[in-house]
Copies of this chain bind each other. A is one copy, B any other.
Amino acid sequence: MLINELSKRTGVSIHTLRYYESYGLIAGRTDEAVKSNNYKQYDESLIGKVEWIIQAKKAGFTLSEIRKSMDDWYNKRLSVSKKIEIVEKKIEEIDSKIRELKQVRKFLTEAIKEVENDMC
Is there an interface contact between B83 and A108, defined as CB atoms closer than 8 Å? Answer: no
A112: chain B residues within 8 A (beta carbon): 84, 87-88
Q: Give residues of chain A (83-120) contacting chain B, Cβ–Cβ below 8 Å.
A: 83-84, 87-88, 90-91, 94-95, 97-98, 100-105, 107-109, 111-112, 115-116, 118-119
Q: How many residues of A contact B (CB 8 A)?
A: 31
Q: How close is A1's CB to chain B, nearest CB, in angstroms?
A: 23
Residue numbers of A with Cβ under 8 A of B are 55-56, 58-60, 80, 83-84, 87-88, 90-91, 94-95, 97-98, 100-105, 107-109, 111-112, 115-116, 118-119
**A108, A112, A118, most chain B CB atoms within 10 A:** A108
List chain B residues, Cβ under 8 A from A88.
112
Q: Kindly list chain B residues whose C-beta atoms are within 8 Å of the C-beta of A108.
A: 87, 90-91, 94
